[in-house]
């Protein structure tokens, strides 16, 4: 019994999913404590996105359990998981291009249980757009946004769900150095507000400065777990990155 540690908001154990013969996620164990940022690392194709897809309900696990806020969610449909307060962004940014920025955020607000009032929704749209740095852009069509602004908008939509846990899939990838600093600060401020975050990331600076703990995957398996500096110094991790892919 480790009564001292705070209750984990997310607890994954033995999570497994195969595509045909390829076991993309293989018996993964992982926990995110309330208020922590946990990094999920690994070379390209190691199964990180697949793991997130299993947690957010895009895919069904073959076996293993996922407990979110004390409730078993493995195999639940994605909309049920979202309503429980698990939000995510996507590695390939998904904004609703045919809608305005405000409507994109509203998409995350309109389907709360119990439903919000019209006034609350309008007020939250403004607040969230401001929060991610898109103040006064609500009326613009989302299709005209730059790459970083698309990422911001997607984050605002995720935050609109009032999540307890946020899954970020390489949200910082593709940003230039100054945008990266802004992005890191934004994520840190979310943590300061008490949000728990599972962060899939290749950007080492971000991992070092943001994560409380890290889990490293390779070929679907967990190969290391611990504090960022420990994990990044682990010979197995270094070999996984250097042996499989040199651009990480």
Partner 1 sequence: MTNAIFTGLMLGGMYALIAMGLTLQYGVARIMNLSYGEFLVAASFASYWLFTGWALNPLLGLAIVVPIGFGVSIILYRVLLTPLVRRAPTRDALEVDSLLATFGMMFIVQGIMLTMFGGAYFSYSFLSIPVTVFGETLALNRLIAFGLAVVFGLALYLALTRTRFGTAIRAVAVDPTAARLVAIDVTSVSAFAFALGGAMVAAAGVLVSMFLTFSASSGVIFTMKALMVVVMGGVGNLLGCLVAGLALGLSESLVATFVDPGLTLAVNFALFLGVLLVKPAGLFGRAQR
Partner 2 sequence: MSPTQIAALAAGGAGLVVLALLPFYIDAYYLSLSISLLQFTVLATAWGLFSGPTRYVSLATTAFFGVGAYTVAVLGELLAWPLVLLIATAIGALMALIVGISTLRLSGLHFVIFTFGLAELVRQLVIWYEVNKTRVLGRYVFVDITQSDIYWQLLALAVAVFVIGWLIARSRLGFALRIIGEDETVAKHCGINVTLAKVTLFTISAVFITLVGAIMAPRWTYIEPSIAFNPTISFQVVIMALLGGAHRLWGPAVGSIPLTLLFEFLSTRFPATSTLIIGIVFLLIVYALPSGVVGLWERVSRRKPEPPVAPQVQA
Ligand X SMILES: Nc1ncnc2c1ncn2[C@@H]1O[C@H](COP(=O)(O)OP(=O)(O)OP(=O)(O)O)[C@@H](O)[C@H]1O
Q: Which residues form the interface with partner 2 (CB under 8 A)?
A: 56-58, 77-79, 82-83, 87-88, 90, 94, 96-99, 106-108, 110-113, 115, 143, 157-158, 161
State which H helix or E strand residue 234 sits in: none
98 forms part of the interface with partner 1 (CB under 8 A): no
Should residue 218 be labelled a site residue for ligand X when binding is judged by CB under 6 A? Answer: no
Q: Determine, following the binding rule CB under 6 A, whether residue 240 of this chain makes contact with ligand X.
A: no
Nearest distance in Å: CB 135, ligand X: 31
* Contact present, 167 and 88 (Cβ < 8 Å): yes
**Ordered strands of the 37-41 beta sheet:** 86-88, 165-169, 196-200, 37-41, 213-218, 221-226
Q: What is the pairing mode between strands 221-226 and 213-218?
A: antiparallel
Q: How far is the CB of 61 from partner 1 (least distance, A)?
A: 12
Q: Residue 163 binds what, of ligand X, partner 1, partner 2, none (CB under 5 to 8 Å, by partner type)?
A: none
* Cis amide prior to 95 (ω within 30 degrees): no
Could you say which residues in the range 88-127 bind ligand X, by CB under 6 A? 91
> According to CB under 6 A, which residues from 172 to 211 bind ligand X?
none
Out of partner 1, ligand X, partner 2, none, which partner does residue 70 contact, by CB within 5 to 8 A per kind?
Answer: none
> Which tokens in the block code for residue 29?
């164990």
Cα–Cα nearest to 207, from 179, 226, 235? 226
**Structural element, H or E, at residue 14:** strand 8-19
Tokens 């806020």, residue?
69
Cβ 77 to partner 1 shortest distance, Å = 12
Instruction: Please give the residue ranges that form the binding site for ligand X (CB under 6 A).
Output: 19, 22, 24, 42, 44-50, 91
């Amino acid at each position: 019994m480790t009564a001292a540690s705070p209750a984990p908001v997310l607890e994954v154990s033995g999570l497994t999913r195969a595509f045909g013969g390829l076991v993309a996620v293989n018996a993964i164990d992982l926990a995110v404590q309330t208020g922590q940022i946990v990094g999920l690392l690994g070379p390209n194709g190691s199964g990180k996105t697949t793991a997130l897809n299993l947690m957010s309900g895009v895919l069904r696990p073959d076996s293993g359990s996922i407990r979110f806020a004390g409730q078993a969610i493995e195999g639940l449909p994605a909309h049920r998981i979202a309503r429980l307060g698990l939000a995510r962004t996507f590695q390939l940014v998904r904004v609703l291009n045919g809608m305005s920025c405000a409507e994109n955020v509203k998409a995350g607000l309109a389907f709360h249980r119990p439903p919000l009032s019209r006034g609350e929704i309008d007020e939250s749209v403004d607040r969230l757009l401001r929060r991610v740095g898109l103040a006064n852009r609500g009326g613009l069509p989302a299709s005209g946004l730059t790459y970083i602004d698309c990422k911001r908008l997607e984050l605002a939509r995720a935050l609109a769900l009032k999540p307890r846990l946020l899954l970020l899939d390489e949200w910082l990838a593709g940003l230039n150095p100054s945008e990266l600093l802004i992005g890191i600060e934004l994520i840190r401020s979310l943590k300061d507000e008490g949000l728990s975050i599972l962060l899939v990331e290749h950007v080492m600076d971000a991992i070092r400065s943001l994560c409380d703990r890290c889990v490293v995957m390779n070929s679907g398996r967990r190969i290391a777990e611990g504090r960022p500096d420990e994990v990044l110094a682990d010979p197995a991790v270094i070999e996984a990155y250097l042996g499989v892919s040199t651009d990480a």
